[in-house]
Amino acid sequence: MMDITAFISGLPKVELHVHLVGSASVPTVLELAHRHPDGGVPTDEDALRAFYQFTDFAHFIEVYIAVSSLVTTDADVEALILGVASDLAHQQVRYAELTVTPDSHLLAGIEPDALSEALIRARRRSRREHGVELAWIFDIPGELGLESGVRTIDWVERWAPEGSIGFGLGGPEIGVPRPQFDEVFGRARAMGLHSLPHAGETTGPETIWDAIRHLGAERIGHGISS
């Protein structure tokens, strides 16, 4: 009798919703935590696995922010991407649309051109070393507001590397009205980027409607309240 789990595991796959920091592997995070021991992330593997145990959305955001704080150089960005690519390859993923949050890295002190070059290098190495083709979705950390949205699209317009296909909005939904980002998303769509915001994960269907009406959403991240 066929082992259906093994059969599915061996199938070639496409991954359309994967976040760079949110998908960081334990070995990669351990490497970054040792590079930056003052970042507040456990440097012991067992403690790190416990730290990663999901409890609720607020805890997820806490972990996400803590791991983001470890990414302070272009080399860190490249290491993070290659760790994700390795994990994807083990799952037989051949193509992935990877969400990157440029503003988080820029605020951490990475130069705009260095961030772009890290993405270029990592995309080439992902294809060569792991057989995974990466495409980029650049998202706004919604909790940082419209100013972050403007910084993000400014970076995208000048520095977006080859393989850029989408523009998104992530982070907490409560207290982050979607209509404030309508002009920013208009600029992204004018570049030919697809509108791929998160909506309706922790709020109701009205957030999904706002994403469709004001952001021109073509694909909704989560949308479980629809």
- Catalytic residue numbers? 201
Spatial separation of the C-alpha atoms in residues 209 and 19, rounded to whole Å:
23
Spatial separation of the C-alpha atoms in residues 187 and 193, rounded to whole Å:
9
* Residue 91, helix vs strand vs coil: coil
**159 and 116 Cβ atoms separated by less than 8 Å:** yes
Residue with tokens 């040792």: 34
**146 and 181 Cβ atoms separated by less than 8 Å:** yes
201 Cβ contact list (under 8 Å, min separation 6):
57, 173, 221, 222, 223, 224, 225
The region, left, alpha or beta by phi > 0 then psi within -120 to 50, assigned to residue 171 is left
Spatial separation of the C-alpha atoms in residues 35 and 70, rounded to whole Å:
8
Spatial separation of the C-alpha atoms in residues 156 and 158, rounded to whole Å:
5
**25 and 16 Cβ atoms separated by less than 8 Å:** no
The residues that bridge with 136 in the sheet, in sequence order, are 98, 164
- Residue 211 tokens, joined: 């994403």
